[in-house]
Amino acid sequence: MCFSSGLSRGRSVPIFGHYGDRIGRKATLIVTLLMTGIATAAVGLVPGYDTIGIWGGIILTGLRLIQGIGVGGEWGGSVLLAMEWAQTNKNRGFIASWPQFGAPAGLCLANMMVLLFSWISGDQFLIWGWRVPFLLSIVMVAVGMWIRLGLLETPVFQRILAENKVERAPTIEVLRRQPREVILSALLRLAEQTPGYIFNAFVFTYGTTVLGAPRDLLLSGLIVTTALGFITVPIAGALSDRIGRRKMYIIGCVFVAVFTFVYFALLDTKVPALIFLGVSLSFIPVMTMYGPEAALIGEAFTPRLRYSGASIGYQLASIIAGGPAPFISTWLFASYHSTFPIGIYVVICAVISIASALLLPDYTEGGAIRQCVRTRRARRVPPVSLAAWARLGPGPQSSEQWTTFARSEHHLHGYLKRKILRRCGHWRDDAVIPQRLAQASSINPGNRRHSSAQWWLCVAGIA
């Protein structure tokens, strides 16, 4: 069921990514909320097998597919709606982490409802108790709809509309222009998705059948870990604004790789208190990556293709990492009768994610400047003359002016010139150009140690 939901998410991304980049983030989010919310509430109304036989399972699978389709378009829109309202890079990681906060908070609330109605209904839980949380979810849909109808479209998308830069086929364009970022975004999430599904789904099978742990013990541990998780998300997002999104994400990858072995060591003791401790702490390393992830992925794409690109990369990970993780973990344990291979599996995913993080651009405030000053290629470029600096005047103020100047500046190394022109071809946001100019003011044009390439890299945020 998890894998089919992941597949449906993947199918929905081209649809919602297309409309999110064409009609706006807000309108698309309203549609995804209605699809996901109505399908979730309808699950509670599905007749049982004794009433309609196998059709009950077919209807339930169909509703889960509709849920997956809605969720496939939900993440990109919610993250962009938050991120694109950030005025500067100084707190963009923190602001973009708040939609991420919703995932562990929702899991916490859902698990609490299951535990509550499991206690209320007792032996009747499988008859009617499980239906109540699904039916009550319609209240959350109403609250979410009220909030979204009151929101305005993001300034970034309004600017795209005003400048008539809306792409006719954004999904095709992003795959043609930024395939590297799409692939890296998917691989980036391996270290977050794989252990996330192991800690949240596989633990029930392993805990009840192998360890003999009570279901309520595992469920209580999951409630605690999701509560700790939604506290960790904004903290990790805020830290990413200080130390860099890439660095924060890599810290999370190393954290989860080490913690997985500790996690299974605690579970394999079969001591209830230690099992509860392991489950309770399991989401903290995952959420350490989940917090900065939104801004790291979202900033990698140009605004007019951002909904499609970020959504494709994000949801592709659900297909290649999240959905298969419980099945692969079950197969590894059945084959080797040990949880150690599962830990190795997570370590491999973490290594791939670290490599992807290193290859993705990091636009954290000041991060690009530090990188470009250390760029070896930039130091080989002849320094800019005072006359060439004077020709800059106040500096280019739009992507078109950037491109024009890059083509006429003879001091730029060919390699750097191509990178700058490529960045100008899908400039992220013209509004950040004055900010980059201010950041580059610390570079003294009269100092022979500074090259024109270094100045360009600092202003353009390219490393």
**What one-character-per-residue DSSP string does 76-120 give?**
HHHHHHHHTT-SSGGGHHHHHHHHHHHHHHHHHHHHHHHHHHHHH
Q: Are residues 348 and 371 in the same domain?
A: no
Long-range CB contacts (< 8 A, 24+ apart) of 412-421?
Answer: 412/381, 412/452, 412/453, 412/456, 413/377, 413/378, 413/380, 413/381, 413/453, 415/377, 416/377, 416/378, 416/381, 416/453, 416/456, 416/457, 419/462, 420/456, 420/457, 420/460, 420/462
> Which of 359, 379, 403 finishes a domain?
359
Q: What is the pLDDT of residue 359?
A: 93
Tell the residue number behind the tokens 């192998």, with chain if given. Answer: 210
Q: How many residues does the chain have?
A: 463
415 shares its domain with 439: yes
Q: How far apart are CA 332 and CA 285, in angstroms?
A: 22
- The pLDDT value recorded for residue 234 is 94
Q: Are residues 296 and 371 in the same domain?
A: no
Are residues 82 and 105 located together in one domain of the fold? yes
| Per-residue confidence (pLDDT) for residue 65, from 0 to 100 | 87
Give the angle subtended at the CA of 204 by the CAs of 199 and 210, to the nearest 5°: 110
Q: How confident is the model at residue 5, as a pLDDT?
A: 52
Same-domain status, 28 and 146: yes
Looking at the structure, tell me whether residues 157 and 297 fall in a common domain.
yes
Pair 189, 88 in one domain: yes
Residues 441 and 321 in one domain: no
Residue range 31-83, pLDDT digits in tens = 999 999 999 999 999 998 888 888 988 999 899 888 888 888 888 889 998 98
Domain containing residue 110: 2-359
Let me know whether 312 and 434 are in one domain: no
The whole-number pLDDT of residue 391 equals 41
Number of structural domains the chain divides into:
2
Kindly state the helix (H) or strand (E) to which residue 310 belongs, with its residue range.
helix 306-317
The tens digit of pLDDT for each residue in 344-377 reads 999 999 999 999 999 998 877 544 444 444 443 3
pLDDT at 57: 87
DSSP 8-state symbol, 432: G
Out of 338, 359, 380, a domain closes at: 359
Indicate if 376 and 310 belong to the same structural domain. no
Which residues in the chain show pLDDT less than 50?
A: 3-4, 366-397, 408-417, 421, 423-434, 436-454, 457, 459-463
Residue 441 burial (CB count, 10 A):
12
**Quick one: pLDDT at residue 119?**
86
Residue 87 to residues 291, 375, 431, Cα–Cα distance (Å): 19, 28, 9
Q: Would you state the pLDDT for residue 70?
A: 86
Write out the H or E segment, with its range, that includes residue 271: none
For 282, the token pair is 């399991």
CATH number, domain containing residue 20: 1.20.1250.20
Q: What's the confidence (pLDDT) of residue 69?
A: 85
- Same structural domain, 51 and 91: yes
Q: How high is the pLDDT of residue 123?
A: 85
Q: Are residues 86 and 155 in the same domain?
A: yes
Position 396 scores a pLDDT of 45
Domain end: 359, 379, 404, which one? 359
